[in-house]
Structure 1
Amino acid sequence: MSGFTLHLLRHGAPETPGLLMGRTDGAPTPAGIAACAAQAVGLGIEHLVASDLRRSRAAGEAIAKILGLPLTIDSRWRELDFGDWDGLASGAVDRDALGRFWDDPNAHPPPGGERWSALVARVAAAIGDLAPVPTLIVTHGGAMRAALHTLCGFEQRQIWAFDLPYAARLSLRVWPGEPVSAQIIGLAR
């Protein structure tokens, strides 16, 4: 099989940047939506998916309108749920607890939050359900990192090295099968 191209696009800047925004449904800025739309032009996609959270969904809706494609909403592409920390600035969270989380988010999830392995499992399931056609998914930084782990085998510590600013697009060539595998073919900021 020849595989297919999968583009993962991080949502644009939210109105209130700098927060741990997992399930927090913050609104995106108009400039953030425009930056995402600019990243989608000329990709030749056939399928468009977005997380159900506003900051991703709004960009997906704008892209759908520009490209004349239907938009599929899939909550499995949500950001990691930061539990009790959700919606807080990182400076408002206990520094040692936050450090343990960043060091090992599976062993030290936020209080009441999601483990890294749960994020990876839901993103892997979403990837497994994709048709093998050129696809763009408007999602979140954590979900993009979970996809890199699933598709490319990067360890959790390695994926924090990827700089994924707002409206960054990560392009992969995916070969379905057991196991699913991929190769990074580009990162656009």
Structure 2
Amino acid sequence: MWRRRFDDGEAGETGVSTILWLIRHAAVDGPPGTIWPADAPADLGDHASFDRLRARLPKNANAYASPAQRTIATAKALQLDPALAPEFSEQDFGAWTGKRHDDLAATGGQAYAQFWKDPARSTPPGGESFADQIVRVRRGLELIESDTAILVVHSGTVRAALCIALDSAPETALRFVIDPLSLTRIDRLDGGWRVRSVNETFR
């Protein structure tokens, strides 16, 4: 029993209320291992990957992005005009934002070492935990009412959405690899969730 056909040409089964296309932003143009601030720029130079990803996306879907510069730039490069949704922002690392993990490991003292004993539930100084981010992302997903939505977001946001879809513990969701400019797809069902694919890449 089929209910409707979605814009990507795939049939939507009865009971599917929303198909979510979750895109991690393009790689940041800067040194790796950094906890990036919201104004960190995206590297938009891989035109072939953008073209391949763009060809996979549904037409005329509602688009959303976190308010970070790198997600907005990635969305524009994909020819999307997203509504900005702060609920989909990356985890707030507070005082550690803008710093490199190597430097924090050397100088961050007990607070940084303690964080990695429970990275899903620990809170950086002045920031939020991954568990807090999951609550925020859940609130954002509840605001989406369309059949199909494209979200240009962050690795933490995608992991949070997977945690919600799988009804898993936060620490389990942190095991997912979410590459820059990758696609993850989940369905919101009338009575739950379904994961279609995780971390599709287009290089």
Q: TM-score range by the shorter chain?
A: 0.7 to 0.9
Alignment-mate amino acid for residue 170 of structure 1: T
Inter-partner Cα distance in structure 2 for 1:25 and 1:92: 21
2:9 matched to which residue of 1? Answer: none
Matched, 1:172 2:186: yes
Which 10-residue stretch deviates more, 75-84 or 87-96?
87-96
Post-superposition shift, 1:88? 0.7
The C-alpha deviation readout for 1:68-106, integer Å capped at 9, x for no partner, is x54211111110011111011101113754443244246
Post-superposition shift, 1:169? 1.0
Post-superposition shift, 1:116? 2.4
Inter-partner Cα distance in structure 2 for 1:110 and 1:44: 37
Which runs of no fewer than 5 residues in structure 1 stay unpaired? none
Match for residue 66 of structure 2 among 45, 48, 51: 51
Match for residue 197 of structure 2 among 182, 186, 189: 186
Q: Structure 1 length normalisation: TM-score?
A: 0.84
Relative to structure 1, the CA distance from residue 95 to residue 7 in structure 2 (aligned partners, 3 Å threshold; closer, same or farther) is: farther
1:38 matched to which residue of 2? Answer: 52
Q: Structure 2 length normalisation: TM-score?
A: 0.79
1:144 matched to which residue of 2? Answer: 158
2:10 matched to which residue of 1? Answer: none
Alignment-mate amino acid for residue 66 of structure 2: S
Inter-partner Cα distance in structure 2 for 1:30 and 1:103: 35
Trace 1:52-131 onto structure 2 (pairs within 5 A): 52-63=67-78, 65=79, 70-93=81-104, 94=108, 97-105=111-119, 107-131=121-145
As a proportion of its length, which structure holds more helix?
1
Match for residue 5 of structure 1 among 19, 24, 34: 19
Which 10-residue stretch deviates more, 98-107 or 10-19?
98-107
Relative to structure 1, the CA distance from residue 40 to residue 174 in structure 2 (aligned partners, 3 Å threshold; closer, same or farther) is: farther
Relative to structure 1, the CA distance from residue 157 to residue 118 in structure 2 (aligned partners, 3 Å threshold; closer, same or farther) is: closer
Relative to structure 1, the CA distance from residue 173 to residue 86 in structure 2 (aligned partners, 3 Å threshold; closer, same or farther) is: same
Provide the aligned C-alpha RMSD in A.
2.2
Q: Residue 61 of structure 1 aligns to a residue in which SS?
A: helix
Instruction: State the percentage of identical aligned residues.
Output: 24
Alignment-mate amino acid for residue 143 of structure 1: T
The C-alpha deviation readout for 1:23-55, integer Å capped at 9, x for no partner, is 442000122686456323233251111111011
Cα pair 2:44 2:77 within 8 Å, conserved: no
Which 10-residue stretch deviates more, 46-55 or 96-105?
96-105
Q: How many residues align?
A: 181
Higher Cα Rg: structure 1 or 2?
A: 2
Post-superposition shift, 1:108? 2.3
The C-alpha deviation readout for 1:131-182, integer Å capped at 9, x for no partner, is 14111100001111111122221211211211111112111111145xxx32
